[in-house]
Amino acid sequence: MPKKPVKPAAAPAVKKPGKKKAQLLRGMKDTLPQEQHYWEYLRDGVVQASRAYGYDRIDVPMMEEYGLFVRSVGTTSDIVEKEMYVFETKGEDTVALRPEFTAGMCRAYIEHGMMNQPQPLKLWTDGAIFRYDRPQAGRYRQFHQSDWEIMGSPQPALDAELISLGQHLLNDLGLQVTVFVNSIGCRECRPNYISVLREYLKEHKKNLCETCKLRMVKNPLRVLDCKEEACRMITTEAPHTVDNLCEACREHFMKVLEYLDEGEIQYRLQPRLVRGLDYYSRTTFEFVLKSEENEPSPAAIIGGGRYDYLIEDLGGPGHVPAVGMAMGMERVILAIKEAAVPVAEAPKPDVFLAQIGETARKRALKMFEELRKAGIAVASNISKNGLSDQLSLANRAQAKLTLILGQKEMMDNTIIIRDMNTTSQETIGQDKLIASLKKRLSDM
Ligand code: AMP
């Protein structure tokens, strides 16, 4: 078990505020307004694809019992060994910020008796994930994943359908990707493979990195996804999981590949793909950008696989086979930017409402809401006084029309409509404003 966190004696003292500038934590990221359209584009794509493929949304907490993650992800995984944010609450519970979604989704499945609903159950979610990882380009300590899980069936067609969702979602978002697939077998055949692998690794022990020398004893499968060049050279020649599968697993994997062929999903077999988490069984897969598919260790955009024992191991109602995948949202956005996919920015307002003087400002507050309710895309800046300031704001917002409400207009119950393109202006009665705007905008 990893070291238990030390309980703080009391709430940590906060240093006197002083003059020190407040700063972002390392590995964290602000998503600024000018980036939000990428997130909207991605979330829209995710929602549409999830609905189309028949998934229901679920939300699970960001924090769970620490033991839940240890039991699911496994004690020898990087996540449990070094990447979890773990702490003790005032009630002396040891909790962790979620380092992935599957464990929490399985807990919810068990806790809400979802096995009593028609199976399989298809659930999706998205949100923040926390890993105390070494920050670098595209890798953060708080990042976001979209996640899909299918619980309650061993059917290989579901593995293929999930991969198909990943492929088509990424394509629809404008990305060209390749999916690597493998099968790591079940509890029947994996022990045999592990001993074959361990024998092979023993012969090359002296050239393995120090971590892999330990992994070779504790969890030799993890040597297969070591990023060190020396280890990679050795594992390229290592025995393949697929050559050591039992009959049932081999058949399952062949079926998955057949369905992928039928679905015209162009996959590549990757015998070293074991994934870093303990709960996987049978199918494992990862999507990478097509432009990076031949690099020695391309950064995955989506990772997933089967986890036929996890729900049972977490105290579920017997054997509940399942398969799932998670997509790194920051990585997708980075790829969308790099591929220069055209992503529409937030829509521009059609109309800018400018006011001059205190009485007009008061009226403008209400008028803004009347226009909004009438379905007119309107913007304003109620804090400004001068007209020229407001006209330049209207120009910057690319409004087609500006409404000018001054003292005289307030007295006459009128308002000026200025065409921002021609600069021509017309005064009309306030009671005719909405009808007149609708007509003008539809003519433009
Ligand atoms: P995993 O749960 O490790 O398979 O991760 C699933 C996906 O999340 C990966 O394929 C990445 O796209 C993304 N991801 C994992 N770790 C990070 C990180 N530290 N920062 C940003 N994205 C990440």
Which range is most confident: 76-80, 273-277, 385-389?
385-389
Report CA(320)–ligand 1 centroid distance (Å).
Answer: 26
Q: Provide the phi-psi class of 176: left if phi over 0, else alpha when psi is between -120 and 50, else beta.
A: beta
Which atom number of ligand 1 is nearest to the Cα of residue 331?
A: 12
- pLDDT value at 4 more than 60: no
Report CA(328)–ligand 1 centroid distance (Å).
Answer: 5
Question: 67-97: per-residue pLDDT in tens?
Answer: 999 999 888 888 888 899 999 999 999 999 9
What tokens appear for 247 in the block?
């009959």
CB-based burial label for 170 (10 Å; 0-12, 13-18, 19+): buried
Question: 206-223: per-residue pLDDT in tens?
Answer: 999 999 999 898 889 989
**Of 64, 61, 86, which Cα lies nearest the Cα of 8?**
86
Residue 10 banded pLDDT, cuts 50, 70, 90? low
pLDDT of residue 138: 85
pLDDT of residue 314: 95
Residue among 84, 101, 330, 333 whose CB has most ligand 1 atoms within 8 A, to mutate: 330
Residue 20 banded pLDDT, cuts 50, 70, 90? confident
Domain 33-189+245-338, second-level architecture: 2-Layer Sandwich (3.30)
The CA distance from 426 to 421, in Å, is: 14
Report CA(101)–ligand 1 centroid distance (Å).
Answer: 11
Q: Is the beta carbon of 302 within 6 A of some atom in ligand 1?
A: yes
Residue 227 banded pLDDT, cuts 50, 70, 90? confident
Q: Is the beta carbon of 29 within 6 A of some atom in ligand 1?
A: no
Whether 165 contacts 253, CB under 8 Å? no
Q: Is the beta carbon of 131 within 6 A of some atom in ligand 1?
A: yes
Residue nearest to atom 5 of ligand 1 (CA): 303
Least confident of 27-41, 237-251, 265-279: 265-279
What are the domain boundaries of the chain?
33-189+245-338, 351-443
Residue among 25, 31, 97, 302 whose CB has most ligand 1 atoms within 8 A, to mutate: 302
Q: Is the beta carbon of 303 within 6 A of some atom in ligand 1?
A: yes
- pLDDT value at 6 more than 60: no
- pLDDT value at 379 more than 90: yes
Long-range pairs of 66-71 with CB within 8 A, sequence gap ≥ 24: 66/94, 66/95, 66/96, 67/94, 68/96, 68/103, 68/104, 68/107, 68/314, 69/96, 69/98, 69/99, 69/100, 69/103, 70/1, 70/2, 71/103, 71/313, 71/314
Q: Is the beta carbon of 133 within 6 A of some atom in ligand 1?
A: yes
Q: Which CATH number fits domain 351-443: 3.30.70.380, 3.30.1490.190, 3.40.1190.20, 3.40.50.800?
A: 3.40.50.800
- Does the predicted model carry a pTM greater than 0.85? yes
Q: Helix axis angle, 433-443 relative to 358-373, nearest 10°?
A: 60
SS3 354: strand
Q: What is the mean pLDDT of residues 192-205?
A: 93
Residues 6+ apart with CB under 8 A from 170: 177, 287, 301, 302, 332
The CA distance from 111 to 315, in Å, is: 10
Q: Which residues pair with 124 in a beta bridge?
A: 57, 148
Residue 17 banded pLDDT, cuts 50, 70, 90? low
The CA distance from 436 to 444, in Å, is: 12
What tokens appear for 39 in the block?
């997130």
pLDDT of residue 5: 53
Q: What is the mean pLDDT of residues 343-363?
A: 94
Residue 278 banded pLDDT, cuts 50, 70, 90? confident
Residues 6+ apart with CB under 8 A from 280: 184, 274, 305, 306, 307
Report CA(172)–ligand 1 centroid distance (Å).
Answer: 20
Q: What is the mean pLDDT of residues 179-184?
A: 97
Least confident of 97-101, 382-386, 419-423: 382-386
pLDDT of residue 80: 87
Average of per-residue pLDDT values in the chain = 93
Report CA(50)–ligand 1 centroid distance (Å).
Answer: 19
> Which residue type occupies 46?
V
pLDDT of residue 84: 95
The CA distance from 418 to 424, in Å, is: 6
pLDDT of residue 74: 85
